[in-house]
Structure 1
Amino acid sequence: MNAGNQLDEYQSTVRALSDRIVEAQSPLRVLDAVKWDDSIRKGFFAAAGRELPAVNRAWYERRPLAFDAGAKKEELQAIERDITRQLGQFNPVGQIMRRMCKEYRMVVRMLEARGTADFGLISQELYGAASDAFHAGDPTLADLGLMLSDYLNNIADRSDLKDEAKTLDARQAVEILQQQLDTVFGEGEGVIRVFESDGILADAAAGADYIKIRSDALFNQRDVRALAVHEGLVHVGTTLNGQNQPICTFLAKGPPSSTVTQEGLAILMEVIAFASYPTRLRKLTNRTRAIHMAEEGADFLDVFAFFREQGYDQDECYSNASRVFRGSTPDGMPFTKDLSYLKGFIMVYNYIQLAVRKGKLEQIPLLFCGKTTLEDMRTLRQLVDEGMVVPPKYLPQQFQDLNALSAWMCFSNFLNHLSLERIEADYANII
């Protein structure tokens, strides 16, 4: 960047186009647009859980989107056209921004299609399907979910792995989480606010500079630690790093392709920070399995019964099953966003392994410079070198210490070449 932090003409052009994308996507609040209200839950239980929830195309039509879908698609198309006109067809940052415009237009199409078969099909285009393979001939996400479930079942009955009691209410969780995040992001600066909320489906949800805790949820210390890592260090941290970008402001906002990368990064952080645990992992595998069931034709009642078989109470079963069908109908195709966790974990882990193998360690921290997408990482490295993107201000300690991370990945690269089946046979007499 120029002396005195003044942008030159090219940088100003990119900044202006980037700001237009940020402004255009602001009303595209996917989760708000697809969620079911509490009347659906009450109706389901009033029917003793024997009838499908009363959600159809007409139900969504009575809940209009917070924007004009046609006008929004035209706005995004115009931005994409101006990107090409002003930056050229092959400009690297222009290619990223054009892809974002295309994705956001697809998001609009998906939300227009709420309650129809197209909703699920577009969701699969944006977030993937459980039947997707990572590489030709490799296991699918559905296979991964089943495999992890088998591993978890092998340790399920161990008394030394039982979860500690959830004795912390929302107020206590807010206080503890706020203290933990203040040590990372700065105390008294008000960088991240943690507060209670009534209007969320999950136990917690992150915004640009805040984390909401569901007011009726209960937690234990391990839960709070996982939230600090997942929601705080990754989701809020990458948002703040994106907001710190002087030119590529679009990095503060994430299209669906970045959701996969960000959720994968968050799960990886949980693992390497020793903040994850079997119950947490089972929740993610069950979501993957439930989405696969719906893709194969299971309806809401089938998925609800699946979660009952996994030992969840009725309210948890309803909450989990509604995550699968929100935006769709109770007998339609699933909303596949929850595949992002395991899919993203595998993709980010493989990326870091390859970065170590190829000696490109400097690219690893750039995962945190905003709402990044894996396919853009080489371009982002180029943009950092050009001064168009600044490195992340907030970076988890595990990613600051590339010595330790690269040592672990070097061993991991080698271990990947060993046959676990052969090892299991050789170790049969000692384990």
Structure 2
Amino acid sequence: MNSLTGLDDYQLIVRALSDRIVEAQTPIRVLDAVKWDDGIREGFLKHKGKKLPAVDRAYYANRPLGFDATAKKQEFQAIERDITRQLGQFNPVGQIMRRMCREYRMVIRMLEARGTEDFGLISQDLYGAASDAFHAGDPTLADLGLMFSDYLNNIDRRGDLEDEPKNLNAKQAVDLLQHRLNKVFGEAEDTIRVFESDGILADAAAGADYIKVRADALFNERDVRALEVHEGLVHVGTTLNGLNQPVCTFLAKGPPSSTVTQEGLAILMEVITFASYPTRLRKLTNRTRTIHMAEEGADFLQVFEFYREQGFDMEVSYSNASRVFRGSTPNGLPFTKDLSYLRGFIMVYNYIQLAVRKGKLEQIPLLFCGKTTLEDMRTLRQLVDEGLVVPPKYLPPQFQDLNALSAWMCFSNFLNHLSLDRIEADYANIL
């Protein structure tokens, strides 16, 4: 915890309110609350994927949240009320903290509604829906997913872009990842640790100051590079920058709105460091497409078959399909958190493009000063000027070099104005 020494009376008030938000959100663990246990997977595989997983409203009722939902909502209501009383209605940092309180109350309502239609509807409010447009007249996320799929199918048909073999076991991946992160964060024991874990579904997961790698997973060097930039430079980096905040400690913890920005930053980092690759993009595209399928009425078996048709085995297909319906029922509305990757990427990319076009380069590194949300960026700039927020201590090299980033975005801004359909017609004889 950061020291209170040297803070003035106003900063101490903000810090106390911020600390209350951090403390109040501690027991809320969304992914733990919505995941299905191993028994569901075993039952599904036992029936050879022909019977819907045995998950209904009663299933979640037997898996309590670990906190009193009513009392927790009242706690956030009280914090929100005290923010207004102590800081006023229009105080900028107060507006951010009040929104966080409202968002956490909505998260609790979503978790209370596990196994019902309301769960999916609130999920859409928090994380968005696949049918959402970015701007009036623009393609939706579902359109983007189909467009990406077409591109990837064209690449697949080449047949010569195979993934590198996964020749690194978990221990080798841990050692390599730790070595790479030490170069960025230093080798002090209190910065970032990488270790093996048995208890995770994904290949890797980031915590406050650590990354855990699934003990039975296999990797190649490109995978490790992607983990370095995605989990390390972005997720752990922004957490450490949030923990480094002397006043606005809430920046170390992220509600769903910051998930979209965080995952968008992470995917953008994968792209600009050349750490991403078609198979990785296919995984993100599939998540968007299957969420849209579920929004349109597809059930678990249909999503499972979608993955089977793509050549995945039964266990992987189950794992991928269960991400769509966790927290819901096998024929209910989806949990839409996995839209955050592509949705966040587009939103963050557009934000950086616009910041370059408007000459507001100083705002770009502030994306990393904690678990930020795009709608707060203008306010964060003001809070840095006031001394309430400190700039990020850990910043990826690509965002330290604003000269190169600006040049790239200037080219990108120009190229966006060209018609790809017209170019395709003009280039038909040479491509």
| Equivalent residue number for residue 366 of structure 2 | 366
Q: In the TM superposition, what are the counterparts of 1:169-188 in structure 2 within 5 Å?
A: 169-188=169-188
What amino acid maps onto 1:173 in structure 2? A
Q: Is the CA contact (8 Å cut-off) linking 2:45 and 2:315 kept in structure 1?
A: no
The answer for the alignment partner of 2:113 in structure 1 is 113
The aligned residue for residue 209 of structure 1 is: 209
Which amino acid letter does the alignment assign opposite residue 319 of structure 2?
Answer: S
**1:375-409 Cα shifts (integer Å, max 9, x gaps):** 00000000001100000000000000000000000
Does residue 288 (structure 1) correspond to residue 288 (structure 2)? The answer is yes
**Correspondence for 1:244:** 244
* Amino acid in the other structure paired with 2:305: A
For 1:81 and 1:136, how far apart are their aligned partners in 2?
Answer: 35
Q: Distance in 2 between matches of 1:430 and 1:323?
A: 43
Show the 5 A alignment for 1:64-143.
64-143=64-143
Contact 2:21 2:250 survives alignment (8 Å): yes
Per-residue CA distance 1:191-231 (angstroms, 9 max, x = gap) = 11111111111111100001111111111110011001000
Instruction: State the match for 1:311 in structure 2.
Output: 311
Question: In structure 2, the residue corresponding to 1:161 is in which secondary structure?
Answer: coil
The one-letter code of the counterpart of 1:412 is S
- The CA distance in 1 between the partners of 2:258 and 2:384, in whole Å, is 18
What SS class does the counterpart of residue 16 from structure 1 fall into? helix
Q: Would you say 1:332 and 2:324 are equivalent positions? A: no
Alignment partners' CA distance in 2, 1:168 and 1:120: 38
Alpha-carbon separation, structure 1, partners of 2:134 and 2:328? 26
Cα distance in structure 2, aligned partners of 1:308 and 1:387: 54
Task: Give the TM-score normalised by structure 2.
Answer: 0.98
Give 1:253 shift. 0.2
SS of residue in 1 equivalent to 2:199: coil
Matched, 1:221 2:208: no
Could you tell me how far apart the structure 1 residues matched to 2:415 and 2:5 are? Answer: 47
1:149 aligns with 2:149: yes
For residues 405 and 166 of structure 1, the distance between their equivalents in structure 2, rounded to whole angstroms, comes to: 32
Of all paired residues, the percent bearing the same amino acid is 84
Unaligned runs of 5+ in 1: none
The 10-residue stretch of structure 1 (127-136 or 193-202) with the greater mean CA deviation from structure 2: 193-202
**d(CA) in 2 for partners of 1:94 and 1:38?**
43
Return the offset for 1:159: 4.2
Report the CA distance between 1:315 and its aligned residue: 1.2
Q: Counterpart in 1 of 2:22?
A: 22
Where does structure 2 lack aligned partners over 5 or more consecutive residues? none
Provide, for residues 228-270 of structure 1, a one-character-per-residue CA deviation record: whole Å limited to 9, x for no partner: 1000000000000000000000000000000000000000000
> 1:401 maps to what in 2?
401
Q: Distance in 2 between matches of 1:284 and 1:309?
A: 17
Cα offset for 1:158?
A: 3.0
Q: 1:61-115 deviations in whole A, cap 9, x for unaligned?
A: 1010010000000000000000000000000000000000000000000000001
For the aligned residue pairs, the C-alpha RMSD in angstroms reads 0.9
Does the residue aligned with 1:213 lie in a helix, a strand or coil?
Answer: strand
Q: TM-score under structure 1 normalisation?
A: 0.98
Distance in structure 1 (CA, Å) of the matches to 2:53 and 2:198? 22
The one-letter code matched in structure 2 to 1:299 is D
Alpha-carbon distance in structure 2 between the residues aligned to 1:163 and 1:108:
41
Q: 2:32 matched to 1:32?
A: yes
Task: Give me the whole-angstrom Cα distance separating, in 1, the residues matched to 2:95 and 2:309.
Answer: 47
Q: Provide the rounded CA distance (Å) in 1 between the counterparts of 2:428 and 2:271.
A: 28
